[in-house]
């Protein structure tokens, strides 16, 4: 009993210690790990950073719909996963911190959602991500070669050679030694080199086309057989274009075409003012609540206020621990849970008062009050948890909401309510006992 109570009392005392360390990590970059491991064990080996959602930090949320009509259903999952990985590779080029790329299934549609925090050149990102980048080498079909020398050269290049982006080891941006124009150099894999050698050998004096997503990029005429496994794509592109093309080829072709269907960009300034305003408003609201509680319940109100502050610190620590990405709706969920935490305290105090009115001793009144209140608190909070659970959709069922806002809200609400079950009851009780024993 004594041991348990020591642990109970320890926890709230240790938490505030841990948090300033967590905070100071951001400001002064002091490593908090040594102290953390002493307190809570190895599991705390995490960075205690508050992660802000796109709406607060600024950034872009993109949703692409995939066109799976050309893919066998058995291969679909693989195709989607590799598409996701490829997009991730492409996104990394933009130097975005912590991009989130995930696949979403909805009815018969498969989507890929891309979150790019703090990005400015969204249009570039969209263009690069959306590119299928299916690289193919075509030669003249036998039929076309005979008929038309009049038709543009790329229309005659209809026969696929079997050489594709998969046979390419690496694509790099380089510059033409004579004109200084940017071009993309390709080096083939061993197999690709062999194939390319054969293609060039049989097409000497004829054009061979390099196509991306069916669009001709360049259609050089082969001068001689190229056997060293290197090729160059020339064309009229800028350095940037060449760079993007190289990235697209390097990251591999998307196994299925995608189309942008949703896009949300939030400038960083908007998020900052929103945070500032909401935090200020939240603090004022909180102060009013504390003043009200103290004014109405006196000593008990002071205790409740302390419990509430501890509650806030614990919840915040949990947000960092998981970590929860804080969005506007997430903050709203947290605020609601604060309201419910206060409610737990009010319920308990009203019960204690009730018992005292019946002429019971203060000690007994506290014990009875807590016991009575706990039923209502438990039931009320469990129903809230049920709702939060369904909204959060933890199993990612496709018939339930999968959008970020609702889930962010549900998650902070659930954490908040679960924490308040703990602080509202256990900590308030400890605090009352501590203060009234003296």
DSSP symbols for 222-243: P-S---SSEEEE--S--HHHHH
Residues in the chain, overall count? 438
Q: C-beta of 40: minimal distance to another protein in Å? A: 31
Q: C-beta of 130: minimal distance to another protein in Å? A: 10
CB atoms within 10 A of CB 305: 21
Q: C-beta of 284: minimal distance to another protein in Å? A: 5
Q: C-beta of 305: minimal distance to another protein in Å? A: 11
- What are the tokens at 156? 């005659």
202-239 burial string, b = 16+ CB within 10 Å, else e? ebeeebbbbbbeeebbbbeebeeebeebebebbbebee
C-beta closer to another protein: residue 20 or 267: 267
CB atoms within 10 A of CB 104: 17
- C-alpha–C-alpha distance, residues 289 and 312, integer Å: 14
Report the 3 state secondary structure along 266-288. ECHHHHHHHHHHHHHHHHHHHHH
C-beta closer to another protein: residue 173 or 365: 365
Q: Do residues 242 and 183 lie in contact, with contact meaning Cβ atoms separated by under 8 Å? A: yes
Cα Rg, the chain, nearest whole Å: 31
Report the 3 state secondary structure along 127-171. HHHHCCCCEEEEECCHHHHHHCCCCCHHHHCCEEEEEEHHHEEEE
Q: C-beta of 147: minimal distance to another protein in Å? A: 38
Q: C-beta of 408: minimal distance to another protein in Å? A: 9
Q: C-beta of 396: minimal distance to another protein in Å? A: 12
């Amino acid at each position: 009993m004594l041991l348990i109570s020591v642990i109970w009392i320890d926890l709230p005392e240790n938490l505030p210690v841990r948090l300033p360390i967590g905070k100071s990590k951001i400001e002064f970059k002091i490593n908090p790990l040594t102290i953390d491991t002493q307190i809570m064990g190895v599991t705390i080996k995490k960075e205690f950073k508050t992660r802000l959602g796109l709406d607060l930090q600024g950034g872009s949320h993109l949703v692409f719909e995939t066109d799976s009509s050309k893919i066998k259903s058995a291969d679909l999952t693989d195709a989607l996963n590799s598409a996701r990985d490829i997009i991730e590779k492409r996104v990394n080029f933009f130097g975005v911190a912590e991009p989130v790329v995930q696949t979403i299934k909805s009815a018969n549609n498969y989507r890929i959602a891309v979150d790019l925090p703090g990005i400015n050149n969204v249009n570039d990102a969209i263009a690069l991500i959306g590119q299928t980048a299916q690289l193919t080498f075509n030669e003249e079909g036998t039929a076309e070669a005979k008929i038309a020398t009049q038709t543009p050269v790329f229309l005659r290049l209809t026969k696929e050679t079997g050489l594709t982006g998969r046979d390419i080891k690496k694509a790099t941006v380089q510059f033409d030694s004579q004109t200084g124009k940017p071009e993309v150099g390709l080096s083939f894999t061993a197999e690709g080199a062999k194939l390319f050698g054969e293609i060039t050998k049989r097409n000497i004096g004829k054009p061979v086309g390099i196509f991306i997503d069916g669009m001709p990029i360049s259609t050089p005429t082969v001068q001689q057989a190229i056997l060293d496994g290197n090729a160059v794509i020339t064309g009229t592109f800028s350095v940037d274009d060449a760079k993007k093309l190289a990235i697209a080829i390097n990251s591999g072709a998307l196994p299925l075409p995608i189309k942008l269907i949703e896009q949300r960009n939030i400038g960083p300034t908007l998020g900052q003012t929103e945070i500032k305003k909401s935090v200020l408003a939240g603090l004022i609201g909180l102060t009013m609540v504390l003043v009200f509680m103290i004014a109405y319940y006196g000593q008990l109100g002071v205790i409740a206020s302390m419990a509430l502050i501890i509650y806030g610190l614990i919840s915040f620590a949990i947000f960092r621990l998981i970590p929860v990405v804080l969005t506007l709706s997430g903050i709203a969920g947290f605020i609601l849970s604060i309201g419910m935490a206060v409610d737990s305290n009010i319920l308990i105090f009203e019960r204690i008062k009730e018992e005292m009115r019946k002429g019971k001793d203060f000690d007994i009144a506290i014990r009875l009050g807590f016991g009575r209140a706990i039923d209502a608190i438990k039931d009320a909070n469990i129903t809230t948890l049920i709702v939060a659970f369904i909204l959060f959709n933890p199993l990612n069922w496709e018939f339930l909401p999968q959008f970020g806002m609702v889930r962010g809200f549900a998650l902070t609400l659930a954490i908040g309510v679960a924490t308040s079950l703990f602080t509202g009851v256990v900590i308030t009780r400890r605090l009352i006992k501590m203060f009234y024993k003296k």
